[in-house]
Amino acid sequence: NAGVTQTPKFRVLKTGQSMTLLCAQDMNHEYMYWYRQDPGMGLRLIHYSVGEGTTAKGEVPDGYNVSRLKKQNFLLGLESAAPSQTSVYFCASSLMVNTEAFFGQGTRLTVV
Amino acid sequence: LAKTTQPISMDSYEGQEVNITCSHNNIATNDYITWYQQFPSQGPRFIIQGYKTKVTNEVASLFIPADRKSSTLSLPRVSLSDTAVYYCLVGRMDSSYKLIFGSGTRLLVRP
């Protein structure tokens, strides 16, 4: 039982490049979330999903897109990376709304 | 969404009990109070959740007064490994809820 797995763990992008971060959970959870965390700051919600095929905007959605084609996967895309998107990205999942959320190990993204 | 206010930081020593208070004056009737812990370079980890009075598990206790306008996370006999950021979240059990974290309280446990 792996829990929540994020791929990749580290990535360096050049400004303007695109990439997709993958979050996979094996707990049959309905809810999934993507966050970013800048140094010394709290987590900020980017997008979330309340079930397969659904997505919704969080606090800081601009510059990111997401998809939840399969219940176990939640993808975060950056179409044109900017240095301001340098951050640590965390994915989380929960069985239902406001139940215990489980987090992945994070993806450290640097945009140069 | 109920706004929460926590101290930015706290210091303690090994073996002491630590109490972190969170204010949530505009908490709604259906809101629950949840606390998460985050170690450096890791994602947050759920600690405890409650609605009223007192909740206790193997890690911590959560005290919620009758008016529910605040809550206190109590960590008994902290150790160096309890050094972390602690987040208080308030929200309801319906689809309107977004799992939004504030700035948290940075707890430093000293030897």
> How close, in Å, is residue A57 to chain B by CA atoms?
10
Q: What is the pLDDT of residues B54-76, one digit of tens each?
A: 999 999 999 999 999 999 999 99
B67 touches chain A (CB under 8 A): no
Q: How far is CA A24 from CA A90, B60, B98, in A?
A: 12, 30, 20
B43 touches A: beta carbon within 8 Å: yes
Chain B partners within 8 Å of A4 (Cβ): 43
CB contact under 8 Å between B103 and A35, yes or no, is no
**pLDDT tens column, A49-108:** 999 999 999 999 999 999 999 999 999 999 999 999 999 999 999 998 888 999 999 999
- Distance, in Å, from the CA atom of A13 to the CA atom of A79, rounded to the nearest integer, reads 11
The whole-angstrom separation of Cα B32 and Cα B25 is 13
Q: How many CA atoms lie within 13 A of A104 on its CB side?
A: 28
pLDDT tens by residue, B66-104: 999 999 999 999 999 999 999 999 988 777 778 889 889
- The model's pLDDT over A6-25, given as tens digits with 9 standing for 90+, comes to 999 999 999 999 999 999 99
Rg (CA), chain B: 13
User: How many angstroms from the chain centroid is the CA of residue A94?
Assistant: 14
Chain B hits for A5, CB-CB cut-off 8 Å, are none
Q: Are B10 and B19 in contact (CB under 8 A)?
A: no
B32 touches chain A (CB under 8 A): yes
Interchain proximity A98–B103, CB inside 8 Å: no
